[in-house]
Amino acid sequence: MNAPIQRTDAEWRNELTSEQYRILREAGTERPFTGVYTDHEEPGVYRCAGCAAELFASENKYHSGCGWPAFDDVAKTDRVILRKDRSIGMVRTEVLCAGCGGHLGHLFHDGPRETTGLRYCMNSAALEFEKEEK
């Protein structure tokens, strides 16, 4: 994948925490119910921790009970890339940041039926929150 923002492995390691690097650059997953944004409810915007691209709005966040921050839609469709992930012996849809190619989490089709029916199940470490200005 050729994302617009390209950095060397050393540059990514220098810019990200070890947990952010493990998730964003190595497609890791944080343990359920441990992420800072799992139960976060402030109004604002969730950005990619790797490149600050706006990914999700707080009004699309909901409590799915899955153990990770869940959103029913993205801020703009061109901000993420979806691809098949067969890494654990099953087919899932991986969600990547279109800006830097960082692994964000996975997309499932078991979200709220009254909205999109989607559950963007994201890793907190892949996100940074920007509080809404009042």
Residues 44, 127, 52, 76, CA torsion sign? negative
* Res 88: pLDDT: 80
* Res 5: pLDDT: 82
Instruction: Give the global pTM.
Output: 0.93
Distance CA 88, CA 119 (A): 19
Are the beta carbons of 30 and 125 closer than 8 angstroms?
yes
* Res 2: pLDDT: 63
* Res 133: pLDDT: 83
Is 100 annotated as catalytic? Answer: no
| Domain range summary for the chain, segments of one domain joined by + | 9-131
Residue 87, number of CB atoms within 10 A of its CB: 10
Structure tokens at 76: 């703009």
The catalytic residue among 48, 51, 97, 121 is: 121
Q: So what's the architecture of 9-131 in CATH?
A: Beta Complex (2.170)
- Burial class of 10 by CB neighbour count within 10 A (0 to 12, 13 to 18, 19+): exposed
Are the beta carbons of 106 and 69 closer than 8 angstroms?
no
Are the beta carbons of 43 and 134 closer than 8 angstroms?
no
Mean pLDDT by 10 residues, the chain (134 residues): 81 97 97 96 97 97 96 94 89 95 96 95 98 84
Q: Which residues contact 94 (CB under 8 A, 6 or more apart)?
A: 27, 82, 83, 84, 85, 103, 105, 106, 107
Nearest 5°: the CA angle 131, 64, 81 is 70
